[in-house]
C-alpha cells in the first residue's frame, strides 16, 4: 500500500517536472519571489531533477529515492509557506508550469502529505513499480491506470481547485444563485 502511495507522490513530482521543462518561464517568477536565480535554465534544471527523481522513485522505490522525494516536497512546502507569508497573490506556485495556481493552503496540505508519505516510504524502504509488478494482476496495467488517475486528481487539486475556490470567494453566493436558478419540480405518485 505504501509503495502505491509513493508511486502517486512520485508521479506528481514527475508531472510537475515535465511542466517546468515545457514552460520554464511560468516557474521563474516564483523563483524570483523566493530570492532564487530567476532564470529559465534554473527552472529547467529543477524540472529535470523532479522528472528524474520522480520517475526513478515510481519505478524503483527504496529508501534513498523516497527520502529524496520527501526532501523535495519539504522544500516545496517551505517555498509555498514563504510565498504565502509575502502575501503576493500575483505569483503562482510554479508547480505545474502554465497550469500553476496561486500558493494556497491546499498546496501546503498536499505537499506536506506528500512529504510524509515519501518519508514513511523511506523509513520502510517501500518498493517501486518494478518490484511490485510481479505481484500485480495483468503485469501491473491496472496499477499504472489507477496511478495515472490518482496523479491526475492530485494535479487537479493543486491547479484547478485553488482557483475555483478563489473565484467562489470573490462572487457572493446570492449572485451565484441568480446566475443559475434552480427549477422547482414535483414528484407525483401514479395510480
At residue 63, the pLDDT reads: 98
161, 96 contact by CB (below 8 A): no
d(CA 98, CA 25): 8
At residue 181, the pLDDT reads: 52
Q: What is the pLDDT of residues 155-175, one digit of tens each?
A: 999 988 888 887 788 776 555
- Residue ranges, the chain, pLDDT below 50: 182, 185, 187
**Nine cell digits for residue 140:** 501491473
d(CA 45, CA 28): 12
63, 125 contact by CB (below 8 A): yes
At residue 139, the pLDDT reads: 85
At residue 189, the pLDDT reads: 57
d(CA 116, CA 123): 10
Query: Which candidate, 45, 43, 22, 47, places its Cα nearest to that of 34?
Result: 43
66, 75 contact by CB (below 8 A): no
d(CA 163, CA 122): 33
d(CA 69, CA 63): 10
Q: What are the residues whose beta carbons fall under 8 Å from the beta carbon of 151, sequence distance 6 or more?
A: 8, 11, 12, 15
| DSSP state letters, 39-103 | -HHHHHHHHHHHHHHHHHHHHHB-HHHHHHHHHHHHHHHHHHHHHHHHT-TTS---TTGGG----
- Model-level pTM? 0.85
Amino acid at each position: 500500500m505504501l509503495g502505491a502511495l509513493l508511486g502517486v507522490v512520485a508521479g506528481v513530482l514527475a508531472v510537475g517536472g515535465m511542466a517546468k521543462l515545457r514552460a520554464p518561464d511560468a516557474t521563474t517568477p516564483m523563483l524570483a519571489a523566493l530570492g532564487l536565480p530567476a532564470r529559465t535554465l534554473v527552472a529547467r534544471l529543477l524540472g529535470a531533477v523532479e522528472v528524474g527523481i520522480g520517475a526513478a522513485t515510481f519505478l524503483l522505490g527504496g529508501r534513498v529515492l523516497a527520502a529524496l522525494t520527501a526532501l523535495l516536497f519539504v522544500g516545496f512546502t517551505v517555498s509555498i509557506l514563504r510565498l504565502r507569508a509575502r502575501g503576493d497573490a500575483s505569483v503562482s506556485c510554479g508547480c505545474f508550469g502554465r497550469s500553476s495556481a496561486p500558493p494556497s493552503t491546499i498546496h501546503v496540505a498536499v505537499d506536506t502529505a506528500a512529504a510524509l508519505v515519501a518519508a514513511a516510504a523511506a523509513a520502510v524502504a517501500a518498493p517501486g513499480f518494478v518490484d511490485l509488478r510481479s505481484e500485480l494482476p495483468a503485469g501491473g496495467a491496472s496499477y499504472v491506470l489507477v496511478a495515472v488517475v490518482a496523479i491526475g486528481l492530485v494535479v487537479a487539486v493543486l491547479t484547478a481547485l485553488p482557483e475555483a475556490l478563489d473565484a467562489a470567494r470573490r462572487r457572493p453566493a446570492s449572485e451565484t444563485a441568480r446566475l443559475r436558478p434552480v427549477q422547482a419540480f414535483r414528484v407525483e405518485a401514479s395510480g
